[in-house]
Chains A and B, each alone.
Chain A
């Protein structure tokens, strides 16, 4: 049982890293605290569900559509966040709280409050290795999340654009002085964030039930992992995602599945209370 929990913890955790990746990138570059992040993930999941159920599209082909929809939405979002005045972090958190309510009600209107799951036979089957069962959906979760994060890592550390993004994360004024277009970097960050969300959404719809209010949980997960890792630390995001996934698996085994939702909230409060410095990771260099 513990091995199964380990496997599902790592699989979910990889997925959590992907959710956190988009949040961390947007927050790191623009300092916009997007509380509607989870709602966007759920919305991407609904887009995939709608294509899968209504149009009979294979899950694989829902990813590009979800990414395209999210790119449009994040472009609008970026314009909204650019309108905010100081203090940016507080104002963005309050405004995106409003956006989250807006999106939740929009989804309630469009997709009703029923619980929905993308359930394809290809995903629920699996392979058995030495008595250890791996479902294809778990393999897909790990593979897709790690590939996406790996590509982003390459981009961040081996291209000129990545260098500029990292410079903006570290010091916005300094980056601007060095001739980096900080606003342009914000746009790029929202773009890559949208890609992460667009990839995470269909995956979310195939492992968790979709319902309009599900986004809060995803938002809490994204923020928890981001604060744990510090912004712009991609390896930290993976470790953080795995630890959170494992902690949730352990909670499900020890306390029961109804306590799972508490894990990210408690860890988030703990991180905020005992490690308030860590969010931008400045002290760590």
Chain B
């Protein structure tokens, strides 16, 4: 069991060095990539996917693998999109409300699946995505059905004293908004990891029976972690929908958004704080810059291949492999 327990790394320099270098790189990226809007766009999306992977991993910390986070992502996206269209609320308000809708859906999932573990929980979540997807697709009156949402308001205007930043119309401002949101999720994840909740989740993952025997309320903590994970996933979905300003049910409830957090978290290291984000920031740009131009159709085979290889040969993920090396 020793392999999975978080501990001070064998490479302390690397463990501090990578996040700091990465953060500096990310902060200064808009200045480096000033000429290319495409690079910035790819990294904005990579950061959003990083937040999704981190949110997924909050549930993963407790040992549960969800193959259906697209359900929360899509509900958050649709809730925020619809509220910003009809009552024309500001996205500042509708984005967290999207997160709340995600958490609301998680209440149903959590109550129904409270006794499922391992493969059966994974299976139930995989099937669960179909429900909000088909309902959204068919409830024309509310969701506009398969026509989708078009002309959504972009990310909102930020007013600080005399400054006025139109986040929606500036690629760099959008980038910084998503970066700060991802940092908030990292911070929350780190806080959680060290809290009683995080410890309880890790104990439940390693040895559920023993954790229960010493009085850890495993079910309660897992339920809380599911709610938090779904809230953040829904928020990511809401930000995504205002970034793209367009969506259809097949887009946000797609296998892509269920699969990507699993792949990034497994690849980066499910039992680490930063691993999932790191994997997102490496894999997504590799996919977009290298494989997408080569193989316009089917470039996402890369994600499937990475997941297969990681499960087979590197169960601790990349970060886990770095830590274990002497």
A212-226 residues with Cβ-Cβ distance < 8 A to B are 213, 216, 220, 223
Q: Does A63 touch B at the CB level, under 8 Å?
A: no
**Cβ-defined partner of B123 (8 Å) among A99, A102, A216, A268:** A268
Q: Does A171 touch B at the CB level, under 8 Å?
A: no
Q: Known: A101-B307, A105-B304, A272-B120. Contact between A265 and B65, CB under 8 A?
A: no
A276 to B124, CA, bound (A): 11
For B138, list chain A residues within 8 Å (CB). 256, 258-259
What distance in Å separates the Cβ of A96 from its nearest Cβ neighbour in chain B? 9
Contact A223 B123 (CB under 8 A): yes
The proximity string for B residues 127-149 relative to A, scoring 1 for CB distances below 8 Å and 0 otherwise, is 11011001101100000000000
Contact A272 B255 (CB under 8 A): no
The proximity string for A residues 244-275 relative to B, scoring 1 for CB distances below 8 Å and 0 otherwise, is 00000000000010110110111011001100
Contact B65 A216 (CB under 8 A): no
For B322, list chain A residues within 8 Å (CB). none
Nearest opposing residue in chain B for A258, CB measure: B138
**Cβ-defined partner of B301 (8 Å) among A83, A93, A105:** A105
Contact B130 A265 (CB under 8 A): yes
A35 to B301, CA, bound (A): 16
Contact A93 B298 (CB under 8 A): no
How many B residues touch the partner, as a band? 35 or more
Report the count of interface residues on A (CB-CB < 8 A): 48
Q: Does A56 touch B at the CB level, under 8 Å?
A: no
Contact A102 B308 (CB under 8 A): yes
For B262, list chain A residues within 8 Å (CB). 94, 97
Q: Known: A98-B306, A262-B131, A273-B124. Contact between A90 and B259, CB under 8 A?
A: no
Q: Known: A98-B308, A220-B130. Contact between A213 and B301, CB under 8 A?
A: no
The proximity string for B residues 301-325 relative to A, scoring 1 for CB distances below 8 Å and 0 otherwise, is 1011111100110010000000000
The proximity string for A residues 115-134 relative to B, scoring 1 for CB distances below 8 Å and 0 otherwise, is 00000000000000000000
A33 to B120, CA, bound (A): 10
Contact B67 A97 (CB under 8 A): yes
**Cβ-defined partner of B122 (8 Å) among A94, A106, A216:** A94
For A258, list chain B residues within 8 Å (CB). 134, 137-138
Contact A80 B308 (CB under 8 A): yes
Contact B297 A87 (CB under 8 A): no
B66-103 residues with Cβ-Cβ distance < 8 A to A are 67
The proximity string for B residues 106-123 relative to A, scoring 1 for CB distances below 8 Å and 0 otherwise, is 000000110110111011
A44-95 residues with Cβ-Cβ distance < 8 A to B are 80, 83-85, 87, 89-95
Contact A94 B116 (CB under 8 A): no
Nearest opposing residue in chain A for B129, CB measure: A265
For A33, list chain B residues within 8 Å (CB). 119, 123
Q: Does B295 touch A at the CB level, under 8 Å?
A: yes
Q: Does B263 touch A at the CB level, under 8 Å?
A: yes
**Cβ-defined partner of A266 (8 Å) among B116, B119, B131, B298:** B131
Q: Does B266 touch A at the CB level, under 8 Å?
A: yes
Contact B134 A101 (CB under 8 A): no
Q: Known: A33-B119, A91-B311, A261-B130. Contact between A272 and B124, CB under 8 A?
A: yes
A186-243 residues with Cβ-Cβ distance < 8 A to B are 213, 216, 220, 223
A265 to B133, CA, bound (A): 11
A94 to B300, CA, bound (A): 17
For A95, list chain B residues within 8 Å (CB). 307-308, 311-312
For A259, list chain B residues within 8 Å (CB). 134, 138
Q: Does A160 touch B at the CB level, under 8 Å?
A: no
What distance in Å separates the Cβ of A108 from its nearest Cβ neighbour in chain B? 4
**Cβ-defined partner of B311 (8 Å) among A94, A103, A272:** A94
Contact B130 A272 (CB under 8 A): no
Q: Does B299 touch A at the CB level, under 8 Å?
A: yes
What distance in Å separates the Cβ of A37 from its nearest Cβ neighbour in chain B? 12
Nearest opposing residue in chain B for A213, CB measure: B255
Q: Does A181 touch B at the CB level, under 8 Å?
A: no
What distance in Å separates the Cβ of B272 from its nearest Cβ neighbour in chain A? 17
Contact A89 B119 (CB under 8 A): yes
Contact A106 B312 (CB under 8 A): no
Nearest opposing residue in chain A for B116, CB measure: A272
A113 to B300, CA, bound (A): 14
Q: Does A2 touch B at the CB level, under 8 Å?
A: no
Contact B300 A101 (CB under 8 A): yes
Q: Does A112 touch B at the CB level, under 8 Å?
A: yes
Contact B130 A94 (CB under 8 A): no
Nearest opposing residue in chain A for B260, CB measure: A101
A268 to B125, CA, bound (A): 10
Contact A90 B301 (CB under 8 A): no
For B130, list chain A residues within 8 Å (CB). 220, 261-262, 265-266
Contact A101 B255 (CB under 8 A): yes
Sample (9) of A-B pairs whose CB atoms are under 8 Å apart: A91-B311, A102-B301, A106-B298, A109-B298, A216-B126, A220-B127, A256-B138, A262-B131, A268-B123
Taking A98-B308, A220-B127 as known contacts, 9 extra A-B pairs with beta carbons closer than 8 A to each other, sorted by chain A number, are A101-B259, A101-B301, A101-B307, A256-B138, A261-B134, A266-B131, A268-B127, A269-B124, A269-B127
Closest 7 CB pairs of A and B: A98-B307, A109-B298, A102-B304, A101-B304, A265-B130, A105-B301, A89-B119
